[in-house]
Structure 1
Amino acid sequence: MADDIPARMVYAGHRWRVTDTPTRLRESIWSAPLESHHGLYGWRFQATSDAGDSLVFDVYRERDHWHVHHTYT
């Protein structure tokens, strides 16, 4: 995170750099029950690996870590 906005991450054993402007996602878009994820929020962003592969990620914060909910090619 940089200024509370996603900037980079490690996913599937690879480093990814955020390469667009992340969009904040609110509770209403998640399929997880809200009772188990109070205050759930996340981000959607495109990221590019060091190898040059790009994916769009939906990620959300769960307690003390981030979870990749879905990826799009």
Structure 2
Amino acid sequence: MDALTVEHPTTLWMVNDIPTRMVYAGRRWRVTDTPTRLRHSVWTASLESHTGLYGWRFQGTNDDGVSLVFDLYKGEDGWHVHRSYA
């Protein structure tokens, strides 16, 4: 599995506090699996300094049928994609 580390802001929509879709890098992504909540232990050292840090891991599929796995975290200024996996 190839991993790409990024730190890009994203817009995330939730239903009942569970991610359902997002806009990332100018593309729309639908959540196409069951999202997993991420806690402090999965983040790199640079992110662990944030108190209350949490995020989500889920598979997203765009309009072209391309699917990636995304790790998102909630920062002070909103949601960010930390990594995506092909």
TM-score range, shorter chain: over 0.9
| Root-mean-square deviation (Å) | 1.0
Which structure ranks higher in relative contact order (CA pairs < 8 Å, sequence separation ≥ 6)? 2
d(CA) in 1 for partners of 2:20, 2:60:
9
Kindly provide the CA deviation profile for residues 1-44 of structure 1, in whole angstroms up to 9, marking residues without a partner as x: 11111100001110000000000100111012433x11100010
TM-score normalised to structure 1 length: 0.92
Gaps of 5+ in 1: none
Q: Which has the higher strand share?
A: 2
**What stretches of structure 1 move > 6 A for 4+ residues in a row?**
none
TM-score normalised to structure 2 length: 0.79
Kindly tell me: are residues 61 and 33 of structure 1, through their superposed partners in 2, closer, same or farther at Cα, counting changes over 3 Å? closer
Identity %: 67
Gaps of 5+ in 2: 1-13
Q: How many residues align?
A: 72
